[in-house]
Amino acid sequence: MLKLTHKASGRHFLQIPGPTNVPDRVLRAMDNPTIDHRGPEFQVIGKKVLSDIRKVFQTNGPVVIYGASGTGAWEAALVNTLSAGDKVLMYETGHFATLWKKMSERLGLNPEFLPGDWRQGVDAARIGQRLEEDRQHQIKAVCIVHNETSTGVTADVLAVRRAIDAARHPALLMVDTISSLASIDYRHDEWGVDVTVAGSQKGLMLPPGLSFNALSEKAIAASKSAGLPKSYWAWADILESNKSGFWPYTPATTLLYGLSEACDMLLEEGLPNVFARHTRFAEATRCAVRAWGLEVLCANPAALSSSLTAVLMPEGHDADKFRKIVLDHFDMSLGVGLAKLGGKAFRIGHLGDFNELTLMGTLAGVEMGLALAGVPHRAGGVIAAMDHLTSNLR
Ligand SMILES: *Cc1c(COP(=O)(O)O)cnc(C)c1O
């Protein structure tokens, strides 16, 4: 067997903001034989997951499920709705927004990137202003990231919807929820989103390998005349097959067993409870960071993420050296600083299959790591987080 570098005993702490820890219930659900993906047994599971997943997106419309990482679902959203040269308005919230913009360039779209400082998030008023100026309606889509995983800064999707409506602009609204779906409240229908992009390996508590597009009627209408070439990603064939619980090609049957179980877990807990749990753990994490005397990267109190916290390293201290010490000594993976945050920040993932003591173990690993790495800080972050949890019981 392939030798893993993890310690022999106890569980590895996978506290990156995705992939996340897969709960035992989901692992067991996937421990099943491969089945005929055109047979009656599969049809039952196909229909179930296609119905359950809508509840997670808070939509009554169709959700397309791909065998792909989240990046594939980004591409699917763009190629199904847009034509070569179309102008799209994107917002520089961090590394993932930047990658989505780069993808749109490669696909022959014409992105306009509203600049951002990676600490404040999306200013819906700027989007509104830009759309007001676009009298010819050349902008065909507004694309934002709900939870920017590189920074731990969220966007107010409803405010963006309202800004588009106030400008009476017909642009589609597309939202990347890859690290927020099933962790932070997200309402595809109520917030008037046209395409929601998501992935399996973060809040949905599954291994990597599935990704999603939730669609509005307006998005489906746009797909009928969109000119970008597409084949594997084309919604039409998939939506047609999905009507009877099947796919036009072989779906990831094993992952769909896991998805069924993950949806059961989320719906049993209740989405409002899932979101409240994530909020509470994020607050406790920030209590710890403040007690250590370190700085949370997100500088906008209204935009703090509930699925991860990015922490700035004090000047002259290397976040990657610190992360290596935590991995070597305590068998815990923390998120790397991405792109311009390389070495300057680390990220604590607190999403998915996560409870009080997982959080305490995670924060204890960070606090011990800070001491071993010689990072200037005050002790007592773990105690501050414990105090927060015990004085905010659920
Ligand atoms: C993880 C992530 C992605 C990339 O998803 P992959 O599954 O790695 O392709 C894109 N956007 C956000 C916000 C993410 O968190």
How many angstroms is it from 94 CA to the middle of ligand 1? 12
Q: Give the C-alpha separation, 117 to 232, whole Å.
A: 36
| Buried-state track 337-353, b at ≥16 Cβ within 10 A, e below 16 | bbeebeebbbbbbbbbb
CA of 17, closest atom in ligand 1: 15
Q: Are strands 195-199 and 172-176 parallel, antiparallel or unpaired?
A: parallel
Question: Backbone phi, then psi, for 86, in 5-degree steps?
Answer: -60, 140
E strand or H helix that includes residue 145: strand 139-145
How many angstroms is it from 377 CA to the middle of ligand 1? 31
Q: What is the pLDDT of residue 1?
A: 63
Q: Which of 244, 267, 290 finishes a domain?
A: 267
Which residues constitute the domain of residue 217?
24-267
**One domain for residues 261 and 283:** no
**One domain for residues 175 and 246:** yes
Which residue type is seen at 165? D
pTM above 0.95, yes or no: yes
Q: What is the pLDDT of residue 5?
A: 62
Q: What is the pLDDT of residue 394?
A: 85
How many angstroms is it from 75 CA to the middle of ligand 1? 12
Nearest CA to ligand 1 atom 5: 70
What letter would DSSP give residue 181? T
**One domain for residues 132 and 237:** yes
How many domains is the chain partitioned into structurally?
2
Q: Is residue 7 part of a domain?
A: no
Q: Which of 222, 250, 267 finishes a domain?
A: 267
CA of 199, closest atom in ligand 1: 7
**One domain for residues 306 and 280:** yes
Question: Backbone phi, then psi, for 67, in 5-degree steps?
Answer: -85, 95
* CATH number of 187's domain: 3.40.640.10
Q: What is the pLDDT of residue 6?
A: 64
SS3 91: strand
**One domain for residues 255 and 307:** no
CB contact at 8 A, 292 and 378: yes
Kindly give the confidence (pLDDT) of every residue in the chain, 394 residues in length, as a single tens digit, with 9 standing for 90 and above: 666 666 678 999 999 999 999 999 999 999 999 999 999 999 999 999 999 999 999 999 999 999 999 999 999 999 999 999 999 999 999 999 999 999 999 999 999 999 999 999 999 999 999 999 999 999 999 999 999 999 999 999 999 999 999 999 999 999 999 999 999 999 999 999 999 999 999 999 999 999 999 999 999 999 999 999 999 999 999 999 999 999 999 999 999 999 999 999 999 999 999 999 999 999 999 999 999 999 999 999 999 999 999 999 999 999 999 999 999 999 999 999 999 999 999 999 999 999 999 999 999 999 999 999 999 999 999 999 999 999 999 8
| Buried-state track 19-41, b at ≥16 Cβ within 10 A, e below 16 | bbbbbeebeebbeeeeeebeeee
How many angstroms is it from 70 CA to the middle of ligand 1? 5
Q: What is the pLDDT of residue 376?
A: 98
Which residue type is seen at 335? G
Nearest to 246 by CA among 80, 95, 76, 45: 45
- Burial class of residue 271 in the structure, from the number of CB atoms within 10 Å of its CB (0-12 exposed, 13-18 middle, 19+ buried): middle
How many angstroms is it from 178 CA to the middle of ligand 1? 6
CA of 148, closest atom in ligand 1: 13
How many angstroms is it from 341 CA to the middle of ligand 1? 17
CA of 74, closest atom in ligand 1: 10
How many angstroms is it from 287 CA to the middle of ligand 1? 27
Q: Is residue 126 part of a domain?
A: yes
**One domain for residues 143 and 247:** yes
Mutate-to-test residue for ligand 1 from 98, 143, 179, highest number of ligand atoms within 8 A of CB: 179
**One domain for residues 237 and 282:** no
Q: Is residue 8 part of a domain?
A: no
**One domain for residues 46 and 167:** yes
**One domain for residues 262 and 357:** no
CA of 147, closest atom in ligand 1: 13
* CATH number of 282's domain: 3.90.1150.10
CB contact at 8 A, 62 and 215: yes
Sequence-distant (6+) residues with CB within 8 A of 82 are 88, 107, 109, 140, 141, 222, 226, 227, 228
How many angstroms is it from 209 CA to the middle of ligand 1? 11
Mutate-to-test residue for ligand 1 from 96, 103, 213, highest number of ligand atoms within 8 A of CB: 96
Which residue type is seen at 364? A
E strand or H helix that includes residue 312: strand 308-312
**One domain for residues 142 and 244:** yes
Q: Is residue 1 part of a domain?
A: no
CB contact at 8 A, 118 and 150: yes
Residues with CB under 6 Å of ligand 1 are 18, 69-71, 96, 145, 149, 176, 178-179, 199
**One domain for residues 220 and 301:** no
**One domain for residues 159 and 40:** yes
